[in-house]
Amino acid sequence: MKAIKRVAPPPGPAGLARTPEDARERWRSDDFRYPPYQYKEPYILWSPRGWRLLEAPERELLHGYGFLHTSVCYSASDIKRSYSDYEDQRCSLVGDSFNMYSFVIFAWASCMEWLPPLSYKHLCSRMGLAPGFCSPPCDSSPLVRSLSYGSPSGDCLSVSGLGKLLLARVNHTGSDVRGASGAVMNPRAYPRQSANPEWWNWKGVFSCRWARKEHINRLEMRSILLALRWRVQHLGEADCRFVRLTDSYVSMSFFF
């Protein structure tokens, strides 16, 4: 079931005869995106701002695909051009696919020779694992609105431990870290991969005003130098390695 914005209803829309007038009005106001029966009272959500249908992230979770599974279907520039088209495309991708709660049975059956006996309930409890992340079969990870890495076993990883883990995955030229974050990869961004900001607890430690206007690439490089200076002057860090995150390829190439 795709989300297709129209200026007029399609011929013979499904369930129109069994759709009450209030649902038909919602169907018209939503540019006839879905079959009219989808706008009935049981299928809509109400808030102080009015009614709405399920959004793409909610549809992903209900289908067992995990958090932001379809988020890389558009480039950043296309998303800025039309966010509604981006949302329609994500909803269409989910509506045109299998429901993973059913498909997991076949996936497990094809691997049962190498896996311990697992109940269907336990298989469903692992649906929230981050894409591409491998964990022991006994771990569980229900679907949530964030990347999940299974039920905790042992002590949680400390901030310094996470830093050491990421530094162990730095590439051979000593530049960017290439870690398996479990995030869905955008093919256009290969081989670099984003770090999930939820791995850390954040707080501001310093701020400053720029003395003059400069190109954004120069300002981003200055911000890295300021961070290095702050670590040396305030934390006394020297002769050590630490992780520095940046979204600027120019700065990454310049410094490393």
- The tens digit of pLDDT for each residue in 205-250 reads 888 888 889 999 889 888 888 988 888 888 888 887 777 778 777 7
Q: Which residue has the higher pLDDT, 90 or 194?
A: 90
pTM value surpassing 0.85: no
Please give the Cα distance from 120 to 68 (Å, whole number): 24
CA nearest neighbour of 248 among 223, 229, 212: 223
Q: Which residue has the higher pLDDT, 120 or 165?
A: 120
Average pLDDT of the chain is 81
- The tens digit of pLDDT for each residue in 106-140 reads 888 898 888 888 889 988 888 887 766 777 788 88
Q: What angle do CA 184, 185, 189 make, to 5 degrees?
A: 155
Residue-level pLDDT at 192: 56
- Pair 150, 125: CB distance under 8 Å: no
Residue-level pLDDT at 72: 83
Give kind and range of the element (H or E) at residue 79. helix 76-81
Give kind and range of the element (H or E) at residue 45. strand 45-47
